[in-house]
Homo-oligomer: A and B are copies of this chain.
Amino acid sequence: MTVTIIGIGLIGGSLGITLKENGFATRVIGVDASQENLHKAIRRRLIDEEMSLAEGVAVADVIVLATPVDAMLKLLPEILDRVNTYQTIVDVGSTKELMLNKIDGHANRNRFVACHPMAGTEFSGPEAALPELFAGKMCVIVDGEQSAPDALDTARRLFKSAGMNLSRLDRKAHDLHCAYVSHISHIASFALALTVLEKEKDEQRIFDLASSGFGSTVRLAKSSPDMWVPIFRQNRDHVLDVLDEHIEQLSKFRTLLIKRDFDGFYERIERANQIEKILK
C-alpha cells in the first residue's frame, strides 16, 4: 500500500517509519511545507520520498493528515475534493468538532476517517519520531459511522498494525473528554513552568532541586506552541470550562492552607489518590 503522510513531525514521522517497518506500507511518501523537515525525514528513513501535496494525494492508497490542527481545517476539504472512492484519508488531530462540521455534506465525506492516536511526547519535529510511539496506546475513531465501511476498515487496520487499541467517540464527546484528560494537563504544566520560572530566578537551583517530581509534572511544558495553540483555539470552550474547575480546585487547597485546615487538606489528598485506581 502507498501511504502519503502530510506533515512529517513527531506523529507523521513516527507513523511513516512504523507503517514501513511493519509492512502496512510498501511505500511512504512525505509532504511537508518545510523542505528541511523532508530532508531530515528522508535521512532518518521516516519516509521513502517527498512529493508535492497534489502528487502525494494522487498516488496514495491512504493519505494521513498529520499537520497542526489549524492547517488540517484548510487542507482536509482540498484533499477531499481530489480523492476517488478507492482512497482513504485519516487524520491524527487532537480536536475534531470544527473540522468535522466543516466537511459535513462534502460529496467525498465518507472517504475520511477521523482518528486520534493518543500518543506523543513533549518533543516535536521529525527528529523526535519513534517507531514504537504508538504501541499499546489508544486510538479514538470519531464519528466512524460517517465513513465508508472499507475506509473505516483501512483506518482500523492501519492503527492496529502500529499496536494501538481502538475506541470510538462522537465529535462532541471526543473534544470534551480530551479537554478533561489531555488539554488541561498541558495548560497545568505550562503554568507550573511559568510559576517556577517566575518565582525561582536561580536557574541552577531549579536544576539541582528538580529531581523530586517537578521534572515529571512539568514535562509537558516543553510542548510546541505551534501544535498546541491551534488545539486550544479549536477546543476553547471546553478547555475554558475545565480550566475554571482546575483553578477552583487549586483555590480550595489555598483556602485550606490559609485556614490551616490540615485535616481538610489530608482528605483532599486522599481523594486525589483515587486517580491511582483509575490509572492502574
Q: Is A246 an interface residue (CB 8 A)?
A: yes
A136 to chain B: closest residue by CB: B211
Q: Is A221 an interface residue (CB 8 A)?
A: yes
* Distance from A11 Cβ to chain B, minimum over Cβ atoms (Å): 11
Which residues from 189 to 223 on chain A have a C-beta closer than 8 Å to any C-beta of chain B?
189-200, 202-203, 205-223
Which listed segment binds B: A32-40, A74-82, A255-263? A255-263
Q: A195-B245, A245-B195 are in contact. Are A209 and B118 (CB under 8 A)?
A: yes
Which residues on the B side are within 8 Å of A228 (C-beta)? 269
A residues sitting closer than 8 Å to B (CB atoms) are: 94, 118-120, 122, 137-138, 140, 167, 177-178, 180-182, 184-200, 202-203, 205-225, 228-229, 232-233, 236, 239-247, 249-251, 253-254, 257-258, 260, 262, 265-266, 268-276, 278-280
* Distance from A239 Cβ to chain B, minimum over Cβ atoms (Å): 6
* A253 close to B186 (CB less than 8 A): no
A251 to chain B: closest residue by CB: B247
Beyond A118-B209, A222-B276, 19 additional contacts (C-beta under 8 Å) are A94-B212, A138-B209, A167-B208, A177-B200, A180-B195, A181-B214, A185-B212, A185-B218, A188-B192, A189-B213, A191-B246, A193-B274, A194-B271, A199-B241, A206-B279, A207-B280, A216-B216, A225-B265, A250-B250
Which residues on the B side are within 8 Å of A206 (C-beta)? 180-181, 275, 278-279
* Distance from A17 Cβ to chain B, minimum over Cβ atoms (Å): 19
Which residues on the B side are within 8 Å of A232 (C-beta)? 257, 262, 265
Cross-chain pairs A/B with CB under 8 angstroms, 29 sampled: A118-B209, A118-B212, A119-B211, A120-B212, A180-B199, A181-B205, A181-B214, A182-B213, A184-B196, A188-B217, A189-B272, A191-B250, A193-B275, A194-B271, A197-B271, A197-B275, A199-B241, A199-B242, A207-B279, A210-B278, A216-B217, A221-B272, A223-B273, A225-B266, A225-B273, A229-B262, A229-B269, A233-B262, A247-B250
Distance of A267 Cα from B142 Cα, bound (Å): 31
* A220 close to B225 (CB less than 8 A): no
A219 to chain B: closest residue by CB: B216
* A192 close to B184 (CB less than 8 A): yes
Q: A217-B217, A232-B262 are in contact. Are A273 and B185 (CB under 8 A)?
A: no
Distance of A189 Cα from B275 Cα, bound (Å): 10
* A225 close to B270 (CB less than 8 A): yes
A228 to chain B: closest residue by CB: B269
